[in-house]
């Protein structure tokens, strides 16, 4: 299956006030795993490296495009939303799919949504796994983004959006390079394939996700309310959220396991999934049918 074929899987599903593009794989009666992507990222950015492994392990896997992203409903720029609204989308999606509770795996913004699910909808989570995320993105106690990363992102902003598909692919690959750490060198050809598929399935240069992340309250003081078995995966070379963000999560959530990966950036590369797969599977199996 090509990258584009994988990206085109799924269907549009009405969920509350929006339509969400969703892809479901695996037996309908299997334990469900909900994969929540990061900001501006469509669901297929969770690649077969994790999806196929989960299905082969006997799970039912759900990927989806957030509102304002991919093929899901666009939101007018004058109608900002918060992480709470994205959580409502996720709960509505679980309801529409008749999923009582799922193992939740989230990256970056998806990990923040997972935290809020754990706080406000504990009964819907069997376990929580988060990659490269934060309980409080703007909290100075945890440190801010790498200065060179901020400079590069500022330059990209002032340069304006790319004008054609070739520039769009290059723009997305450059972003992947900025987010990558030294432990897993970026496969530029693979990154270009993913970027081209993203453009072919509804990419836009900017969504309201960044506003949702930074305008929403932090969760540092509420982490103790998360009771689902939790694993925090964080890179020592994350240019967006320094390691203190992952450590704060693991410290604040009772019993959470911290997996700190040397040289990992703000990314979930296929090679990382391959290396961590035994750990991920052990975490899911240990949670079993736990529902809080």
Q: What is the per-residue pLDDT for 258?
A: 98
Q: What is the per-residue pLDDT for 91?
A: 98
104 bridge partner residues: 34, 128
Within a domain: 292: no
Asked which of 22-31, 86-95, 281-290 is least confident by mean pLDDT, the reply is 281-290
291 band by pLDDT with thresholds 50, 70 and 90: very low
Asked if the model's pLDDT at residue 132 lies above 60, the reply is: yes
**Six token digits for residue 31:** 């334990």
Asked if the model's pLDDT at residue 290 lies above 80, the reply is: no
260 bridge partner residues: 234
Calculate what percentage of the chain has a pLDDT beyond 70. Answer: 99
**Six token digits for residue 40:** 């501006």
Cβ contact 238:14 at 8 Å: no
Tell me the average pLDDT of the chain: 96
Q: What is the per-residue pLDDT for 47?
A: 98
The alpha carbon of 155 is separated from its chain's Cα centroid by a whole number of angstroms, namely 25
Q: What is the CATH number of the domain that holds 27?
A: 3.40.50.1820
**Six token digits for residue 27:** 């037996």
Q: 55-76 pLDDT, tens per residue?
A: 999 999 999 999 999 999 999 9
Q: What is the per-residue pLDDT for 173?
A: 98
Calculate what percentage of the chain has a pLDDT beyond 90. Answer: 95
Asked if the model's pLDDT at residue 289 lies above 90, the reply is: no
Q: 208-263 pLDDT, tens per residue?
A: 999 999 999 999 999 999 999 999 999 999 999 999 999 999 999 999 999 999 99
Domain range for 13: 3-287
Q: What is the per-residue pLDDT for 288?
A: 74
Q: How many domains does the chain have?
A: 1
22 bridge partner residues: 11, 64
Q: 154-211 pLDDT, tens per residue?
A: 999 899 889 999 999 999 999 999 999 999 999 999 999 999 999 999 998 889 999 9
Q: What is the per-residue pLDDT for 186?
A: 96
| Residue whose pair of structure tokens reads 């999560």 in the numeric block | 249
Helix/strand/coil (H/E/C) assignment for every residue in the chain = CCHHHHHCCCEEEEECCEEEEEEEECCCCCCEEEEECCCCCCHHHCCHHHHHHHHHCCCEEEEECCCCCCCCCCCCCCCCCCHHHHHHHHHHHHHHCCCCCEEEEEECHHHHHHHHHHHHCHHHEEEEEEECCCCCCCCHHHCCCCHHHHHHHHHHHHHCCCCCHHHHHHHHHHHHHHHCCCCCCCCHHHHHHHHHHHHHCCCCCCCCHHHHHHHCCCCHHHHHHCCCCEEEEEECCCCCCCHHHHHHHHHHCCCCEEEEECCCCCCCCHHHHHHHHHHHHHHHHHHCCCCC
């Amino acid at each position: 299956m090509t990258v584009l074929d994988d990206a085109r899987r799924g269907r549009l599903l009405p969920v509350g006030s929006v339509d969400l593009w969703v892809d479901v794989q695996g037996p309908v009666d299997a334990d469900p795993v909900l994969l929540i992507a990061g900001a501006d990222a469509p669901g297929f950015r969770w690649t077969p490296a994790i999806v196929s492994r989960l299905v082969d392990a006997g799970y039912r896997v759900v990927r989806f495009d957030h509102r304002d992203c991919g093929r899901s409903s666009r939101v007018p720029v004058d109608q900002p939303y918060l992480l709470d609204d994205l959580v409502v989308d996720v709960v509505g999606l679980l309801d529409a799919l008749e999923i009582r509770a799922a193992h939740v795996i989230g990256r970056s913004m998806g990990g923040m949504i997972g935290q809020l699910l754990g706080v406000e909808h504990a009964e819907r989570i069997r376990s929580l796994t988060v990659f490269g995320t934060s309980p409080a993105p703007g909290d100075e106690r945890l440190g801010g983004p790498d200065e060179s990363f901020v400079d590069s992102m500022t330059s990209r902003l002032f340069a304006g959006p790319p004008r054609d598909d070739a520039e769009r692919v290059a723009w997305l690959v450059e972003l992947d390079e900025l987010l990558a750490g030294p432990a897993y060198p970026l496969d530029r050809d693979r990154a270009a394939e993913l970027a081209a598929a993203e453009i072919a399935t509804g990419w836009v240069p900017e969504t309201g996700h960044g506003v949702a992340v930074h305008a929403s309250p932090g969760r540092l003081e509420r982490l103790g309310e998360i009771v689902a078995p939790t694993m925090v995966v964080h890179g020592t070379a994350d240019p967006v959220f320094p390691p203190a963000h992952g450590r704060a999560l693991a410290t604040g959530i009772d019993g959470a396991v911290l997996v700190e990966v040397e040289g990992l950036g703000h990314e979930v590369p296929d090679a990382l999934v391959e290396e961590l797969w035994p750990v991920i599977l052990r975490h899911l199996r240990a949670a079993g049918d736990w529902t809080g």
